Amino acid sequence: MKFDVALAPASLSQVPDLACRAEAIGADGLFTSETQHDPFLPLPLVAEHTTQTQFGTAVAIAFARSPMTIAYTAWDLAAQSSGRFILGLGTQVKPHIERRFGMTWPQTSPVGKLREFMAAVRAVWTAWETGDRLNFRGEHFKLTLMTPFFNPGPIRHPKIPIYIAGVNAPLIKLAGEASDGFHVHPYHTRRYLAEVILPNIEAGAVKAGRSQKDVAIATTAFVAIGENEPARRGMREAMRAQVAFYASTPTYRPVMSLHGWEAQAEQLTTLAAKGGWGEMNAIVTDDMLAEFVVEGTWDDIGGKLRAKYEGLVDRLALYLPFTPDAEDAKWAKVARAIET
């Protein structure tokens, strides 16, 4: 497995130091997310201050952007980094697209729109690489204008990997069919990986005449790390709140349903709708939490993570912001254990 780092700087001024330290501790990849900050802005700094580490978005919201704007950004980052950039895309859910981003949710299938989005981006890249006419026509996007003035031209590393993200079977199958990798949502269990994600990746791959091995599986693990029980308690409760929040989302119901926790999921959805955030944590029992969260010390957490994920994923990160300084050696130990 490769060990990745979740890059969540409070400001762009922190990025050069964090990127250098992540590479120094042996991280294979650095990934940003679209939560409180733009996911692309830190990445030119990552490219500038690292030499070997891959980096990318995990994920940028596709439906908040156009294929052309994504194509330009990805092309420039791949050129700057000598091909180390990985483009990670996600759909988000309808309320966020419409009410947070002010964009339009597809009237038909979001899966179909994301499939077309990836194809449109690749069509633009091909036009730039080959000089052929841009002529992409689909249900959601029509891209037919690319004059020389707007064409950046070919780059040395034009094969930019596209990963997508999702929770439910249709998006997972799309990853197997048309993407280079799949970002598994941190809200998952080992059983969900083995029984839902990998079989659907394979089904999508077979449909497209590909192999499951053509699709890299990446995920971020919920963890509770501390040298003793009191030290882990606070992080464990933070993870419990995170699981409760994700489990309250109706779109993510299949994870709970697989384990027979449908009733608890319905309770969480009801409480979230009422704003009862303080009551939700009690619904997630310790036994339930143990399916989602890996607990341990900095000395043994790497081995425990490897035991849970080996054979199921290709890339693994911690659901923690990368905070080095005094903890550089601890992060390096986790990296070595996972990569061994």
pLDDT for 41-93, tens place per residue?
Answer: 999 999 999 999 999 999 999 999 999 999 999 999 999 999 999 999 999 98
Strands 85-90 and 136-137: unpaired
* Residue 113 maps to a domain: yes
pLDDT band at 122 (very low <50, low <70, confident <90, very high): very high
Kindly report the pTM of this predicted structure: 0.95
In angstroms, rounded to a whole number, what is the distance separating the alpha carbons of residues 153 and 161?
Answer: 19
Is the model's pLDDT at 327 over the cut of 90? no
Going from the C-alpha of 19 to that of each of 5, 24, 314, the distances in angstroms are: 9, 9, 21
* Residue 241 maps to a domain: no
* Residue 13 maps to a domain: yes
* Residue 188 maps to a domain: yes
For residue 317, the domain's CATH number is 3.20.20.30
pLDDT tens digits, one per residue of 150-181: 999 999 999 999 999 999 999 999 999 999 99
pLDDT for the residue numbered 250: 92
pLDDT for the residue numbered 326: 65
Is the model's pLDDT at 325 over the cut of 80? no
Q: Where are the beta strands (DSSP E) in 108-243?
A: 136-137, 142-143, 162-166, 181-184, 216-225
* Residue 270 maps to a domain: no
pLDDT for the residue numbered 114: 98
pLDDT tens digits, one per residue of 206-261: 999 999 999 999 999 999 999 999 989 999 999 999 999 999 999 899 999 999 99
Going from the C-alpha of 112 to that of each of 107, 175, 196, the distances in angstroms are: 10, 12, 20
Instruction: Give the rounded percent of residues in the chain with a pLDDT score beyond 70.
Output: 99
In angstroms, rounded to a whole number, what is the distance separating the alpha carbons of residues 317 and 294?
Answer: 12
Structure tokens given for 311: 């054979």
State how many domains the chain has: 1
* Residue 258 maps to a domain: no
pLDDT for the residue numbered 218: 98
- Is the Cβ–Cβ distance between 299 and 323 less than 8 Å? no
- Find all residues with CB under 8 Å of 46, minimum gap 6, and list them: 7, 15, 19, 30, 53, 55
Mapped onto helix, strand or coil, the DSSP state of residue 294 is: strand
* Domain coverage including residue 110: 2-227+293-339
Of 242, 335, 332, the C-alpha closest to 292 is 242
* Residue 248 maps to a domain: no
- Find all residues with CB under 8 Å of 197, minimum gap 6, and list them: 172, 182, 184, 188, 217
pLDDT band at 322 (very low <50, low <70, confident <90, very high): confident
In angstroms, rounded to a whole number, what is the distance separating the alpha carbons of residues 191 and 58?
Answer: 22
